[in-house]
Amino acid sequence: MAGKINKVIAHDLSISPRTVEVYRANLMAKTGSRSMSELMRLALAAGL
């Protein structure tokens, strides 16, 4: 939710940027979100 790009997240977690993309895509599919902004609204509504 900090708005970091995939490369920065990957570097912070010591994983590949592609892994970050896959994790984001899986999260969006599971929640039914069509965009990152929709996913953020969902997270904020849930109190995350």
Please check whether residue 38 lies inside any domain of the structure: yes
Q: Write down the pLDDT at residue 1.
A: 57
Query: What is the value of pTM for the model shown?
Result: 0.73
Q: Write down the pLDDT at residue 40.
A: 87
Please check whether residue 36 lies inside any domain of the structure: yes
Which residues form the domain of 41? 6-45
What secondary structure does DSSP assign to the chain, as a single string? -----HHHHHHHHTS-HHHHHHHHHHHHHHHT-SSHHHHHHHHHHTT-
Please check whether residue 1 lies inside any domain of the structure: no
Segment 1-46, tens digit of pLDDT: 577 899 999 999 999 999 999 999 999 999 999 998 898 899 899 9
- What is the total count of domains within the chain? 1
CA distance 12 to 25: 19
